[in-house]
Amino acid sequence: MEPEEILALVRQNDNDARRQLFEAYYKRTFAVAYNILRRRENAEDITQDAFIKAFQNIHQLQDESKFGAWLAVIASNLARNYLKREKRIILTDEERELQPGPVLDDTEDSVLRSLEVERVQKAIKTLPPEQYQVVVLQYYYDLKIEEIAQMLNVRPGTIKSRLFRARKRLADELELKEDPACLSGEGGDR
Amino acid sequence: MYEKERFELSDELIRQALSRDFEEIEPPSAEKAWRRIEIGLSGKKVAAIGRRSIFSRYGAVAAAACLLLALGGIGLFQVFQQGFFSAGDAGPEMIADEASPSAADERSQEDAVGIMMEEEQAPQGIKFYAESDSAPPDWPLSVSESYFFGEAVILEGADQTSYSGAVYHGQEETLLLIKSTVSEEEQGLFIDNISLHLDAYIGAAGEINGWKSFVAEGQPGLAWQKEGLNRALLVLSGYLPPEELQSIAEELIAD
């Protein structure tokens, strides 16, 4: 079934359709919440709340193709606000056991690439929630800056600013010297 | 030897890192999560506070005359859990990192994705919880892993006593957890006030296994003290044996 068809059924409160969407997006939505909260139990609750709110407000989703990104925004906003209520500053990171990564060709390049990816993975976890949110929306969900701005109800300049700071922070974390052009947030290869 | 400066922070690298992160994470049981979501979706949405008691609202005991009174300041107040979509105070980490001219944009993100908490119109005489009031307690999102937070309420009496309450929905039962903020409050008075706030008949309190027990509109309730403040847990609808209620209360005390 096409995503548009599924969402049409969800709008009619079809439980099976909801279940399909849940199964498609549960893991990544939990990941977004967890990376902000760093607590499994809290992330679990926030993830469930995000789905509930998404299904209850599905009529507000204008572009069906953006459901995943929209859900990620809901989850990350819930997580951010939970942190604010708790006024908890994250000092430690609950180290989670990573599942083994995909089996790669064992050439030197692929091994090095895998290490690079792992380093960037860890660096991304140091991003503050607002920056993490826009990084996920741009790089994982492939939204344009204007789309992110609209979804978050802020100005495009704010998104650019957050992306700029996010990339700078990543570069600092990775101890890289980035070309200023790469920090623009527009993305060199988009 | 591997050199850190060998790679550039490309967009593709960030994408791969995010994709791998999402693939590698091991979330809790999806089945359990879905069941909770279904319960959450089927939970009774709090409608406008009307002239129905909280018991009949949640479909409980057939009460002869359970009306909410909005006289003399006695009434049931409804609190919308604003925390999810209110900016509140940003933590210091966020403030330091978000020094930008777009502070107004930050606040507007409260309404991101257009999801608004619709405020119900309250009947006259019943006051909504105001932002200027002190913040409600942070209620656990679930109790005993079977009951999930539904709504937060304030119970306020004519004598200025004020209790915070939270409604939790289970598959077939609904519970009300009440917290008093009045220190050195006699427990019997606390239970009497609950009776007034809820406009519900509560029979003489007894004791079960060391717990202060009572029956409110035919439903079991328990009261205890934690950190010098009174607490109560009562069943609003459905059937829950007293010993099971006690088990839930024990978990709450332990938290």
Query: Tens digits of per-residue pLDDT, A136-189?
Result: 999 999 999 999 999 999 999 999 999 999 999 999 999 875 555 555 555 444
Segment A13-26 shows an average pLDDT of 94
Mean pLDDT of A92-119: 67
Window 55-94 of B: residues touching A by CB (8 A cutoff) are 83-94
Which spans in chain A are helix H? 3-11, 15-37, 40-56, 67-86, 108-124, 129-135, 145-152, 156-174
Interface contact A49-B84, CB threshold 8 A: yes
pLDDT of residue A127: 95
Per-residue pLDDT tens, chain B, 255 aa: give them. 444 455 678 999 999 999 999 999 999 989 989 988 988 888 643 332 333 456 655 654 334 434 444 444 444 444 433 333 233 333 333 333 334 434 555 544 544 444 433 333 332 222 334 444 445 567 888 888 888 888 788 776 655 567 888 888 888 888 999 988 888 888 888 887 787 777 666 666 677 777 788 888 778 899 998 888 899 999 988 888 888 888 888 888 876
Contact indicator for B43, B236 with CB cutoff of 8 Å:
no
Q: In this complex, which of B28, B97, B113 lies closest to A40 when CB atoms are compared?
A: B28
Phi-psi region of B102 (alpha: psi -120 to 50; beta: other; left: phi over 0): alpha
A28 near B CB under 8 A? yes
Supply the pLDDT for residue B113.
46
CA–CA gap between residue B142 and residue B150 (Å, rounded): 9
What ipTM was predicted for this assembly? 0.84
Report the pLDDT averaged over residues A23-46.
94
Choose among B12, B38, B83: nearest Cβ to A85.
B83
Say yes or no for a CB contact (<8 Å) between A174 and B20: no
Choosing among B4, B44, B113, which should be mutated to test the A contact, i.e. which has the most A CBs within 10 A?
B113
CB contact under 8 A, A28 and B6: no
If residue B95 lies in a helix (H) or strand (E), which one and from where to where?
helix B92-97
Count of C-beta atoms within a 10 Å radius of residue B7: 18
Condensed to tens digits (0 to 9), the pLDDT of residues A40-86 reads 988 999 999 999 999 999 998 988 899 999 999 999 999 998 888 77
Residues 6+ apart with CB under 8 A from B2: A112, A115
Quote the CA–CA distance of B221 and A40 in Å, as a whole number.
32
| CB < 8 Å to B12, chain A | 189
Inter-chain residue contact B27 with A74, CB threshold 8 Å: no
